[in-house]
Amino acid sequence: MNTKLVALVTGANQGIGLEIAKALAAHDYTVLVGSRNLERGEAAAKSVGANAHAVQLDVTVQASIDAAAERIRSEFGRLDLLVNNAAISNTREPGTPFEEILQSSRPSNASLDEVRAVYETNVFGVIAVTQAMLPLLREAPAARIVNVSSGVGSLTLNADPSFPYRAGFSVGYSASKTALNAVTLAFAIELESTNIKVRAVSPGFTATALNNFAGTETVKQGSQAPIRAALDQDGPTGTFTGPDGPLPW
């Protein structure tokens, strides 16, 4: 029987997901590096070390999700931590300037096809992966689900005219993170009487491929809040936090 804690991190082949994977491996977790592209996942797992294993996982494809869940059960026998990190901000070509992405994502002219694609990964993908992994998480003595959200998804912050990122509130990425927060709370409420804690955490405005590296924080800095939440076995459930503490929904 495997007695080592096992964690699955989606979208872990780069950016914040990869940093989370490295931190968990350093704390003696067996880390499953979820990646749409298996080759990239294998390269990332190799960079993490012997505690990491690549898992092909496209959060928008149910067959991929089901296969990942079956592999985790048969090969590792348990799952103690799920970090739903995989996300997209748009469907533009890599390298598209961030300002151009913002301008084309305004509610008045946003492409519905792009909005749907963003929701498929950021919202429906999280629901699908969480549902598939719940049977394993329910069997763990103290399981956690950490959803990597964003402060730009906070309705309370965006309702404040002084919020610096308010002008970029979009019906795509921003609203998908608002929906993710609602999904987080829904799972937390359903599971509050179980051994599973569910939290949303914002890394802050981090320079990653998500925003064409326009963020003000480094990946090392941005990964700290999600890492703290992932490693906190005794933390609360049903919360939304960021680098500086609690965030309003």
**Is the confidence at residue 217, as pLDDT, over 90?**
no
pLDDT in tens, 227-246: 999 999 999 999 999 999 99
* Over residues 167-175, mean pLDDT: 91
Q: How confident is the model at residue 206 (pLDDT cuts 50, 70, 90)?
A: low
pLDDT in tens, 9-43: 999 999 999 999 999 999 999 999 999 999 999 99
**Is the confidence at residue 173, as pLDDT, over 60?**
yes
| pLDDT value, residue 179 | 98
Distance CA 139, CA 131 (A): 14
CA dihedral 13, 15, 212, 90 (to 10 degrees): 60
* DSSP secondary structure string for all residues of 117-148: HHHIIIIIHHHHHHHHHHHHHHHSSSEEEEEE
| pLDDT value, residue 62 | 98
pLDDT in tens, 115-147: 999 999 999 999 999 999 999 999 999 999 999
Decide: 177 and 126 in contact? Cβ < 8 Å: no
Q: Is the dihedral of CA 69, 16, 183, 37 positive or negative?
A: negative
**Is the confidence at residue 211, as pLDDT, over 70?**
no
**Is the confidence at residue 213, as pLDDT, over 50?**
no
| pLDDT value, residue 208 | 53
**Is the confidence at residue 222, as pLDDT, over 90?**
no
Q: How confident is the model at residue 212 (pLDDT cuts 50, 70, 90)?
A: very low
| pLDDT value, residue 209 | 52
Decide: 234 and 181 in contact? Cβ < 8 Å: no
Which has more confidence, 24 or 213?
24
Distance CA 249, CA 241 (A): 9
| pLDDT value, residue 1 | 59
- pTM for this predicted structure: 0.94
| pLDDT value, residue 102 | 75
**Is the confidence at residue 191, as pLDDT, over 90?**
yes
What domains appear along the chain, each with residue ranges and CATH number? 6-246 (3.40.50.720)
Q: How confident is the model at residue 3 (pLDDT cuts 50, 70, 90)?
A: confident
Which has more confidence, 209 or 175?
175
Catalytic residue annotation? 173, 177
pLDDT in tens, 62-104: 999 999 999 999 999 999 999 999 999 888 877 777 777 777 7
Give residues with Cβ within 8 angstroms of 23, minimum separation 6: 223, 227, 230, 231
